[in-house]
Chains A and B, each alone.
Chain A
Amino acid sequence: MHSTYLVARRDYLGYVSAWGFWLGLLFTPLILGIFMLAPTLAQNSQPTRYFTVIESGTEFTDALRREMDKSAARTARVMLDPVAAAQEEDSEKLKAFDTARDKGETSLDAFVSAGGDPSILPKQDFVEIAPPTRNIEQLAPFLLGQQLLETDEGPQPLFAAFIINDATNEIEYWSENLQAQALIGSARNAERDIKLDAALAGVNIDRKLLEDAASARRDVKQQRVRVGAQVEAASEVTMADRAPFIVSIMMAFSLWFLIFSVINYLLMGTIEERSNKIFDSLLTSVKLPNLLAGKLIAVLLLALTLMTFWGLFSTTAAFFFADSIPADAASNLNIVMSAAANLGLVIPALISFVLGYLMFGSLFLALGSLCDTIQEAQTLMTPLFVMLMAPLAMLAFAVQDADSALIQIMSWVPVFTPFLLILRIPTEPPLWEVLAQLGLMAVTTVIILYLATRVYRAGAVHGAGVSDVWAFFGKMVPGKKSSGA
């Protein structure tokens, strides 16, 4: 045990003293933060784009204004209550917003009336402006940026112009930006509304009638049967019911991310020892199983260090920005945190994490012992990375329906079990199934560890290389004579 501790200590200190580790530690939350904030940042950093409409009447202009207002309302609803908006449910806030809108308030005013903070609303992408000229030839310098428009923000270029060509009965969209499709999409929706209104008018139906009918729809409320201690609770599904699923998804993705982010250390560390020819010195001082255990523990500790750091970072950030978190979000966060503390979820998650890590970690350790260089490792890494990416693909399926037949079956495949079992826990699978899957995973881990030890010995002691692995598989192909050693 002492030698295992010494190996683990040396490897762990070696990893944490490397620059790469600290860069990963600090930059991962930063990159994730940027990744999450990127859409909002990109939207807010984008300059306001001005467009104009040239038509003989106002039919298209009015329809486009209504369409853009609807789009702004959709955004405001999401910002007001993301969960209810995503679930298409009517929360108090959303009802207040809709009522204000019905009274004719703009999206911004309705947002404020419903208790929203206007500062969190993304700014308007497109602003309509009166046409500087009605002549298309004279409009060209504005579209090309050679002439600027007078706006509240000072002189600005004209981004786009709609010209309703009465002669051809076509809507022309003029812009030098061929990529941005948002404005042209709004125009298409507006035109669709115009035609729908005309059709309804043809049969003497007021558009308002349809909108009222849509508003009067009954909400579909999700319910669940309460049993045991919860039998007295209301049957309507709440955030507390959804929290375990949210937590399990977070845990499964975190597990995958952690394994994926630290497993390379095992590979690199072993390749370094092989290329530095340290194995003989080590193997006369430590038993092989102790050596491997030390290495696996070192990287496991590394993963726990990352988890602890990121956990503390998140907690500290939440503490400092607590005032900025809306009350509803804070309440939901508390519910999620309570669900995360549920031992029924945490214990299988921890077991899955350790076994999953050992399963994949020992494979990478064995691979590293066969390679002198990273280039050599590349040839064997592809199948291993596919093996690691496959659970991620399964996770995407499982998020939709963790209780589906496909996920139930795939969770019996040991390489998927660590991730899929966690996702299935909130669906309350039978206990025997959970225990059996954990047991199968444990047995598979032991088998993989045993095989990995043998491969490691072959690499470390006998100098076996990548070519020997291919030769080994070559011999397994019936009728094929391997050319390798």
Chain B
Amino acid sequence: MSGILPLEMNGATKWFGNFKAVDGLDFTVPQGSIVGFLGPNGAGKSTSLRMALGVLSPDAGRTQLFGQSPNLETLKRVGFLPEERGLYKKMSPRQIITYFARLKGMSARDAKARADELLDSMGLGAFAKSRVTKLSKGMAQKVQILSALAHRPDFLILDEPFSGLDPVNQQALEDLILEEHKRGATIVFSTHVMEHAERLCQKIVMMARGRKVFDGTLDDAFAALGHAVKVGVSDGFDLGEALKGAGFESSLEDGSVWRVALSPKQDPQSALRAAIDAGAPITSFSPQESRLRDVFVSLVSAAEAQDLTDTLAADAAKAKEAA
């Protein structure tokens, strides 16, 4: 089995009527990795994951799970938490987890034992036999996550698993993901909250407007954006003008604090040295770490700007043609 990718998408495209929801998506999920599938709302993340699972068929391109088109056998190795949360309201958490585990091929006895084990581990043992309607939203969400991983899948696909959870439960879910990863599971989760991805993922795939805008490691992501330093000066000193000659782009952020942008290869010390050389009355100096959020905003904004440009160009071409 080694060497076979849990998920591979090649040029996967999906149309809904005249709307192209996903446009030629290519990416792979290496075995044993945790992959963050990032993008703003409406970027096409859920559609892509539903295509990955065979719930939706791509209109072009292909998706493969464990080297095969998605089928019931490969899907038995997958645990899926859909974006739209739902449980059978008249069933108990134990019944629901057992039901989905059995659908994935577990025996009745193993499924029940596994349900009890998972519910206890997540502090839901006391509610095992209560109706779902008696559970809080967070508890119900935990039950759904547990029913996705009850059959010990090789590959977990979690669509927006953190949404709707309070910080305590978000942390519990992060721990659970890491535990599943430690067990050997490959994990893909979609989110638009970057902090989770920063903490958990080795690989990031970003989408905007149905297209992939980034695919790489966290380091690659940070490298793509560059970084900056913040320099405080007194006496209304114009640091922007002073550093221009040294090739730095600066902008006044807050009264007397300037943000000096650095290229990925520039050292923060070089900016400090240039400021001293320019005679700046420095009152503070702090390097600014680039965050995934900045990378995300930058890439998504660029994609949206490009999209807008493309749309305007297309409209202009149409108008010209009509004229």
Contact = CB atoms under 8 A, between A and B. Distances in A.
Interface of A: 3, 6-7, 10, 14, 17-18, 272-273, 276-278, 280-287, 461-462, 485
B99 A10 contact: yes
Nearest to B57: A461
B166 interface: no
Contacts of B55: 280, 283-284, 461
B89 A276 contact: yes
Nearest to B76: A285
Contact of A14 (B16, B54, B88, B103): B88
Interface residues of B, number: 28
A281 B86 CA distance: 9
Contact of A277 (B54, B82, B103): B82
Which 3 interchain pairs have the tightest Cβ spacing? Answer: A277-B86, A280-B82, A277-B84
Interface string B45-89: 000001001111000000000000000100100101010111111
Nearest to B86: A277
A276 B100 contact: no
B147 interface: yes
Interface in B104-148: 104, 144, 147-148
B139 to A, nearest CB: 16
Contacts of A276: 86-89
B91 A14 contact: yes
Contacts of A462: 16, 56
Given A287-B72, A461-B55, A485-B17, A281 B90 contact: no
A281 B91 contact: no
Contacts, number: 61
A278 B88 contact: yes
A280 B50 contact: yes
B17 A281 contact: no
B92 to A, nearest CB: 11
A280 B70 CA distance: 14
B42 to A, nearest CB: 15
11 contacts: A7-B103, A14-B88, A273-B86, A276-B87, A277-B82, A282-B103, A285-B103, A285-B104, A461-B55, A462-B56, A485-B17
Contacts of A280: 50, 55, 80, 82, 84
B181 interface: no
A3 B103 contact: yes
Interface in B1-41: 16-17
A286 B78 CA distance: 13
B78 A278 contact: no
Contact of B53 (A3, A10, A17, A284): A284
Given A284-B80, A485-B17, A278 B87 contact: yes
